Structure formats: C-alpha cells, structure tokens
Amino acid sequence: MKKVISTDNVPKAVGPYSQAVWANDLLFISGQIPIDPKTGKFVSDDIKEQTKQVFKNLGAILQSAGLGYENIVKATVYLADMNDFAAMNEIYASFFKKDFPARAAFQVVKLPLSAKVEIEAIAVREIY
C-alpha cells in the first residue's frame, strides 16, 4: 500500500515530491527546512530556532498521519555547517522523551534556500 500524506500545516512541496508517503506501515517524510508555513519565510537565522521549526514541520506531518515523534525510527540530518551540530543536537534531543531514533548527520555543500538545517525521517505506524 502506498498513500501520499499532505497537510497545509507545513510549507508546500516546491518540486515533484510529496511531503510524506506511507508504504505499508512506514511513513517516509521528505526533508523539512525551517520555513514557517504561516509566513513562508525562515523563522530565524539561528540554528536552534531553525531546528525547532524543522521539528514543528515534521510534527505537523506526523500528526496528519496520526503519529508522533515517538514513531520516528530513523532520521537524517543535513547541516550547512558541522560547527552547528552541538546546537542542533540540543534541540533535536528535546523532541524525544526516550528511545532516540537511529540517525545520521552530514555537512552538505548547500541546502535549499540556504537553510542551515534540513531533516528527513522515517516513522513506523506501530511502536513495539
């Protein structure tokens, strides 16, 4: 089973991709950048504020699929500058109560619209 998830509570996809796609019991969430869906602009130039907004966007997609942060089993973090890792990590950790998901983090040459952080995630329907 494949089903596209879309919500108005996050920025619209700016290309030929879906915000998220169910594939059986897995939800694949496209990379989110720190755009506030109300203003269409970055929330701030600060890495911590950008990371918070990314998680708000991820959370809105999770909620529209009937899930929460605890359902995330894998995350991939893309940073424009690895020197921002500690600050991003502090905010990242605050969104999980226990049992952190598997994760990879990379510095990349450039992110869309020159964001400082982008995060994609895979979530599972049922927690075991």
Token digits for 105?
Answer: 């983090």
State the residue range of the domain holding 17: 2-124
The whole model's pTM is what? 0.95
The total of structural domains in the chain comes to 1
Nearest C-alpha neighbor of 32 from the set 5, 59, 70, 8? 59
What mean pLDDT do residues 9-37 have? 93
Using one digit for the tens of pLDDT, what is the confidence trace for 30-40? Answer: 999 999 999 99
Residue 114, CA distances (Å) to 33, 47, 81, 97 in order: 10, 12, 11, 30
pLDDT band at 128 (very low <50, low <70, confident <90, very high): low
Using one digit for the tens of pLDDT, what is the confidence trace for 38-72? Answer: 999 999 999 999 999 999 999 999 999 999 999 99
Q: Residue 21 belongs to a domain with what CATH number?
A: 3.30.1330.40
- Report yes or no: 109 and 74 within 8 Å, Cβ to Cβ: no
Q: Are strands 72-79 and 102-107 parallel, antiparallel or unpaired?
A: parallel
